[in-house]
Amino acid sequence: MNDVSMIIGVGAIFLGIFILLVSAVGLFRFPDLYLRASAVGTSAGLGVACIVVGALLIDFSWMNLIKALIAVLAQMLASAVGSMAIARSGYQNNSLPADITWIDDLRLTRRDLHDQGEIPR
């Protein structure tokens, strides 16, 4: 029992590290802020959760289970709110989406483009 949960725990930790590595590569492969934020989103949710669950399996107790559950839930909600805040401030700060973005409804609401007359009122 102890050996099995240890092996599964080490496997979960390595899976989490693999997800972190992949999203680090995604930071370079994706062209704009919003796609990069999506790539980091995989490690924010599943990556950290895998590492914490792996540590839990290696060092199990009921108290640790409760703490790990709270930590994973808090991490997921906090990182979601954080990446929404970053994406929103990016759009306000003229970090335009890459050219492959083929529909952009938010562009209709941009005040500076209205002032230049690029979008008719």
Partner 1 sequence: MIPVLTLEIAMIGLGVAMAIAGLRGLMGPRTTDRAVASDLMFFSVIGFITLISLRIGADALFDIILIATLLGFMAAISMARLGSGGQR
Partner 2 sequence: MSSWLSWPVRIVSFLFWYAKEFIMANVHVTLDVLRPASRMKMTPAIIAVPAASRSDSEWTLISSLITLTPGTLTITISRKHGILYVHGMFVEGREELVAEIQEMEDRLLRAMRREPGDLSRPVMAPIVAPEGESGGGGGRR
Q: What is the DSSP string of 28-67?
A: HHS-SHHHHHHHHHHIIIIIHHHHHHHHHHHS--HHHHHH
Residue 17 touches partner 1, criterion: CB under 8 A: yes
User: Cβ 106 to partner 2, closest distance in Å?
Assistant: 5
Residue 25 touches partner 2, criterion: CB under 8 A: yes
Burial of residue 117 (CB within 10 Å: 0-12, 13-18, 19+) is exposed
User: Cβ 4 to partner 1, closest distance in Å?
Assistant: 14
Token couple for 41 = 């989103």
Q: Which residues bind partner 2 (CB under 8 A)?
A: 19, 22-23, 25-26, 29-30, 32, 34-35, 37-39, 41-42, 45-46, 76-77, 79-81, 83-84, 87-88, 91-92, 97-98, 100-112, 114, 121
